[in-house]
Structure 1
Amino acid sequence: MRTRSRRTALVVTAALAAPLVVCAVLAPFRDDVANTNVALVLVLVVVGAAATGRRTAGIGAALSSGVWFDFFLTEPYHQLTITDRTDVETTVLLLLVGVSVTEIALWGRREQARSSRRVGFLAGFVSSARLVAAADTPPSVLITHVQRQIVEALDIDECRFDTATGGAHPRLHADGSVTSGGSLVDVERDGLPTGDRIELLIEHAGTVHGRFLLDATTRVRRPDVDQRVIAVTLAQLVGAALATPRSGDRRT
């Protein structure tokens, strides 16, 4: 955690310093280089900062670009004052484009990360389905495998198999919704319940064959509905396997 904080501090510092360096280097050539071209160079700097995936770096680079563009490249020079209307417009546009580019870059990284997670979930689901299809797979092996997949899908602390068929715990339902004390939980806003384990029933053809107890108590998790439905589907695969006579060891 400390290493990550140091890395973030270094990235943000570099993002703030880069526009200063660029403007200082280009200042001697301000009579030969149009300010609009300098602004485009600074936008590239902001894009590079935003590409790190840190909003503070991207927005910091955008603000720093506006300040040093004003200081070095607009009249009166070496003052944070702009007298030319065109330079005012360029500075404002630089800031707006910089912030917009930062948000677009972060959105792209989030979508890429979400896509990668879904590919991983699909791979885990396929591997679980193969275990179910293999008649010689012991139920304990399948259960252990699915527990790992559910932990990864929901980003929770632990998933434990239990032979009970329901209790007074919060529950993750087949449609991906979560209830606690009879009330619907807004997982996207409030996260999964942290005060108790969450039960996910293992069902097949209307029969309950046990449950998974999900532990998300150490910090707030907000898995989206797709992630929650994946966890439910994995539990249903286990239910189908437990409903079918199989060779191997007993349920664990």
Structure 2
Amino acid sequence: MRDAVMKFDEIVFARRSVIVSASVAVPFLVCAAVAAAGRAVPDASVAVGLVLVIVAAAATGLRSAGMGAAASAALWFDFFLTQPYDSFAIDSAEDIQVAVLLLLVGLGVTELALFGQKQRAQLGRERGYLDGVVTTAESVADDVPADTVVSSVADRVREVLRADRCTFVAGASLPGRPRIRRDGSLVRGEHLLPVDRSGLPVDQEVVLPVETEGQVVGWFAVTAAARVARPTAAERRVAVLLADQAAVALKRHRDPRISARP
């Protein structure tokens, strides 16, 4: 199911211009067809049909498609189906209400569709992160070599934090750089950094400690310099869980001198 959704999103992105153009054109064609047929279809039925077109456009997840369909529906409903016909003037207050409602409903449906798409994408990412934690835990349970586990964890931490690079460094003490604590917060010294607003520091590496039995055996040096990365608190906690898996592997193999690079 998730693969099918991703495939749909890829198709929508690749054909963005075509979808937007169709979303704007279809309301025009519907209204023009009704007008050409002698306007025998009640305005209320046409309005419902235009709403369905707007919903279909908004369902693509493209704001431009949904808003384009809404604006086109309101415009051409006014032009073809309100008196005086074939004019953008409107004499009836009821027709004005219908045109405005078409526009407002279209905008509202578009925003709801986009919100749902964002929620779906977030759930997909969280599921992927949890799958990564489980896979790493299985690697530890299967007695996979520590360097392999640590390298895999470095890759996953980089993905979760949307960083450019993640490198494991062995050592018993942490450098004085911004550090991710166990609760997912990011601190520089004792000062809390607003990751949600400012993102990860781009001028310094971020330290993700790796501890076993309360003792530091190393850390992941996370670099996010190419772009501003704003991992959520939940994503940062997932990174901490991944670091814990690396700690388990290092403890099991009694080899804290590993330096793995993704």
- Write the deviation string for residues 38-58 of structure 1: whole angstroms up to 9, x where unpaired: 111111111122122111221
Residues 109-160 of structure 1 show CA distances to partners (whole Å, capped at 9, x for unaligned) of 11111111122111111111111223x3211000111112112222222211
Map of 1:152 onto structure 2: 159
Secondary structure at the counterpart of residue 243 of structure 1? helix
Change (3 A) 1:27 1:186: farther
Separation (CA, whole Å) in 2 of partners of 1:230 and 1:14: 42
Per the alignment, residue 226 of structure 1 pairs with: 234
Identify the match of residue 21 of structure 2 among 13, 16, 21: 13
| 2:168 is the counterpart of 1:168 | no
CA contact 2:207–2:219 (8 Å) conserved in 1:
yes
How many residues in Structure 1 have an aligned counterpart in Structure 2? 248
- Check conservation: 1:139, 1:249, Cα contact below 8 A: no
| Aligned counterparts of 1:243 and 1:6: Cα–Cα separation in 2 | 47
Does residue 80 (structure 1) correspond to residue 92 (structure 2)? The answer is no
Alignment of 1:1-252 (within 5 A): 7-29=15-37, 31-134=39-142, 136-164=143-171, 165-180=173-188, 182-245=190-253, 251-252=258-259
Tell me how large the CA RMSD over aligned residues is: 2.3
Distance 1:30 1:224, change over 3 A: farther
SS at match of 2:192: strand
1:60-98 CA deviation, whole Å, 9 max, x = no partner? 211121111111111111222211121111111111111
Secondary structure class of the residue paired with 2:252: coil
CA contact (8 A) 2:146 2:253 kept: no
Distance apart, 1:30 and its partner CA: 5.6
Determine the C-alpha separation between the residues in 2 that align with 1:70 and 1:53: 26
Structure 2 gaps of 5+ residues are 1-11
How much has 1:169 moved relative to structure 2?
A: 2.2
What TM-score results when the alignment is normalised by the length of structure 1? 0.89
Partner AA of 1:89 in structure 2: Q
Q: 1:249 to 1:182 in 2, by over 3 A?
A: closer
Q: Counterparts of 1:249 and 1:210 in 2: how far apart (Å)?
A: 7
What is the alpha-carbon distance in structure 2 between the residues aligned to residue 163 and residue 114 of structure 1? Answer: 33
| SS in structure 2 of the partner of residue 201 of structure 1 | strand
User: Which stretch shifts more, 202-211 or 185-194?
Assistant: 185-194
One-letter amino acid of the counterpart of residue 163, structure 2 = I
Worse overlay, 145-154 or 121-130? 145-154
Identity of aligned residues (%): 41
